[in-house]
Structure 1
Amino acid sequence: YTDQWERWWKNPQQVELYNFMAKDNVPFHSVIFPCSLLGADDNYTLVNHLIATEYLNYEDGKFSKSRGVGVFGDMAKDTGIPADIWRFYLLYLRPEGQDSAFSWSDLMLKNNSELLNNLGNFINRAGMFVCKFFGGAVPPMVLTADDKRFLARVTLELHQYHQLLEKVRIRDALRCILSISRHGNQYMQVNEPWKRIKGDEKDRQRAGTVTGVAVNTASLLAVMLQPYMPSVSLAIQGQLCIPPGCFVLSHSFTCTLPPGHRVGTVSPLFQKLENDQIEALRKRFGGGQVSGGCGAPRGSSTLGTSWPLQLCFLLIQELTEEGAKQGNHVRQLKANKAEKAQVDVEVAKLLELKKQLALAEGKSPEVPVPKGKRKK
């Protein structure tokens, strides 16, 4: 990646190495590879923190490329769901302590409840109140005991966010962000600035304080969101006109948008996912039976549901690669004069792969009988 790689990979005194992987890779990266580096005796940097996740399953089963079950690669882009929504949901259910499962219904629920109604609602209201009630400028703030209690809750969540990220508990740290916006919505709901702005001078001042505190909380959330949802974070920074120098996360809640600071055009950050849309996606990525093939020949009794062209290509490509690998394995066994029973088992596996490939290509599933054998 860079000709300066030795600054990191041969610098154990100054570098802390974090490895991220699924649990099945732990033996190699915790034992085999570090032992290889030690054996090289060349001052290589060894892993300091090994962060392994459990498995992510799909709906009620498992992801499977060969059967077209699940969303892979650029297929996620083709759904029309923004990348940041995918990032949010996959990190929200990250299998940090036990296996977890991707669910289309849960994706819709988390988008509509946590992002749209909770996080997005709070940030949008905070910015809109500045524009609607105070001409786009952050109003003066006179903090009361209630405001200080709210800020204490936010600060507690911020401290916990830092601690969790230090421990690489990425999923749990994300929940701190959602808790802050939940506290923010409750804070605004209790103080009702949209009503107080219509009252006397004291009420209008109170509305200004609540709005100023809320929009500064939204500014804090923009920074906390950056590693999880970079595009959404950037959008909030643009809408609230947060100065680049203030776009840094500290360990305490500071006022980054002082009285008089002008915000920009505020607009909704998230869109609702509809049930019909989600059901269509669940059906689209639900896969099919391998025996049905991508286009089995007419008259075949094994015809299944027609597969999307992209899934067909993936299946054919995977079966072709597996068949070639198995063919080489069989030839190697024969060259080494392995026992006939072992060869027969591997040949049977090869014939089965050829059969599946033929079905996937829409050809007859019959595979030529090996030389020296006759059909009865």
Structure 2
Amino acid sequence: MPYCEYDQMFLPDRFIIGTCPRCGYPEARGDQCDNCGALLDPTDLINPRCALCGRRPIFKTTLHWFFDLRRVEDDLRKWLENHETLDEKVKNYALSWVREGLRPRSLTRDNRWGIKAPFKGADNKTIYVWFDALLGYLSASKEYLEKNGRRFEDFWFDKETKTVYFIGKDNIPFHAVILPAMLIASGEPYVLPYQIPATEYILYEGEKFSKSRRIGLWIDEALEIIPDSDYWRYVLMRIRPEEKDTNFSWREFHRIINTELNDNIGNLIHRVLSFIKRFFESTVPEPGELDDLDKETWEQVDQNYREYINLMLRFKPKQAIDRILEIGKIGNQFLNRRAPWDEIKRDVMRASTTMYVAVNITTLIMLLLYPFTPRASERYWRYFDFKHGIEEIILAKKAFYSVEPGTRLVGEITPIFTKLSEDFVEKVQKEILPKIREKIQEKRPESLRF
């Protein structure tokens, strides 16, 4: 193991840096290369150096305990090859790693801190953090289940249980190889990962997040700027790096809030509900017979609804929101083509049918938005005297809700979303964020300050 004579300590994992033998990245760590994702041992690094002092370490003999991945290699490969729901990117990456041949991986470290190794003769040894961290999924769920009167085995040994792990791409080897290998090696009938939705990286204004360089945004700062968490939830899902690295910028934040949430969805909702309140005494009207345009519109909505469900089941929320926005676009186009403000003057039944279709579209939109903007969806629900609450519908796995004629609008109809001012970006960058950061910094522990 590498040992720094200057700092007088062994150098596990992040304490040693060097050039990756696979891709040539000069800042690879002793356990993994952040550039290509390869899992490494400290001895693999080219031109290694101590992360603390920058000096070249020596290598000393020390006793360690290993997890022999070779003994589960065949079972792991078969599981990966036969997995029908695993993301293809994750599956191919894990399979390539397995097919190269797995090596025993050290479980212990010569650290002064960490969980003490429970093995006989392993005095002064601690457990490698990633092995211990993966077991956290089991230990945390065990504690939760037992506190709620449920048996740990009834969850983890049930073939119907589906475990999903949302991770960054740098953690694919640990969740698609190490974790299932550990569960297989236990000899117990644990369910293996059902899905591992791994993302690429998010940049901040075109740069990597960095605490030392003051690049990025803390959640407490974000909520000081925009207190409504719905906006942050929605924007972060819109820029979720599902296929490639994405970038958070304040200009894009401004565009998404104003164009998507307000101009597309919020505007449609306000038009529909205000019209029903004004011309139908706040009551969803009884529709007449649907004509071709009504049917065509609803077929388009239904197609996007089905695609949304499919994408959500495949853990593609960013793409699922595209389908919601398309439904919003269809709803706005339908309203413009129908022009109910003209229909109401010459054919009340025709206007009634138009608004019945329209309010079902807006209700479906807010139901589908619930995972992303729960507060806004709940506000929308409170506009009506619906028989069922939105959470009740979601938990009943009914992703569709038909608004019954006669349903009443209650209370004042206010905009479901709020637009950001034209000078929002400039104010945030030049005035608001610096002041907030200065105020919040004093409340943070030293380790969390920029």
Bucket of the pairwise TM-score, normalised by the shorter protein: 0.7 to 0.9
Aligned equivalent of 2:415: 268
Residue 440 of structure 2, aligned match among 286, 304, 310: 310
TM-superposed deviation, 1:81: 4.3
With the length of structure 2 as denominator, give the TM-score of the two structures. 0.61
With the length of structure 1 as denominator, give the TM-score of the two structures. 0.73
Q: Is the 8 A contact 1:57 1:101 kept in 2?
A: yes
Aligned: 1:26 with 2:26: no
> Share of identical aligned residues, percent?
31
Aligned equivalent of 1:161: 308
TM-superposed deviation, 1:286: 7.7
The CA distance in 2 between the partners of 1:212 and 1:253, in whole Å, is: 19
Residue 57 of structure 1, aligned match among 179, 183, 203: 203
| SS of equivalent residue, structure 1 residue 257 | coil
The CA distance in 2 between the partners of 1:254 and 1:226, in whole Å, is: 12
The CA distance in 2 between the partners of 1:245 and 1:107, in whole Å, is: 31
Aligned equivalent of 1:2: 145
Letter of the aligned partner of 2:319 in structure 1?
Answer: D
The CA distance in 1 between the partners of 2:218 and 2:374, in whole Å, is: 21
Report how many residues are paired: 300
Aligned equivalent of 2:295: 148
The CA distance in 2 between the partners of 1:137 and 1:230, in whole Å, is: 25
Residue 259 of structure 2, aligned match among 113, 123, 133: 113
| SS of equivalent residue, structure 1 residue 268 | coil
Aligned equivalent of 1:188: 335
What are the residue-to-residue correspondences of 1:236-251 with 2, within 5 Å? Answer: 236-244=380-388, 248=393
Query: CA-atom RMSD, angstroms?
Result: 2.8
Name the CA shift for 1:8/1:98 in 2 (closer, same or farther; >3 Å).
Answer: farther
Name the CA shift for 1:7/1:239 in 2 (closer, same or farther; >3 Å).
Answer: farther
Aligned equivalent of 1:294: none
The CA distance in 1 between the partners of 2:250 and 2:342, in whole Å, is: 39
Name the CA shift for 1:221/1:10 in 2 (closer, same or farther; >3 Å).
Answer: same
Q: Which has the higher contact order (CA 8 A, sep 6+)?
A: 1
Structure 2 gaps of 5+ residues are 1-143
Letter of the aligned partner of 1:174 in structure 2?
Answer: I
Aligned equivalent of 1:86: 232
The CA distance in 1 between the partners of 2:414 and 2:448, in whole Å, is: 45
Aligned equivalent of 1:172: 319
Aligned: 1:96 with 2:226: no
Q: Is the 8 A contact 1:68 1:315 kept in 2?
A: no
Aligned equivalent of 1:279: 426
TM-superposed deviation, 1:168: 1.1
Q: Which has the higher helix share?
A: 1
Aligned: 1:231 with 2:375: yes
Q: Is the 8 A contact 1:164 1:172 kept in 2?
A: yes
The CA distance in 1 between the partners of 2:303 and 2:276, in whole Å, is: 26
Aligned equivalent of 2:364: 220
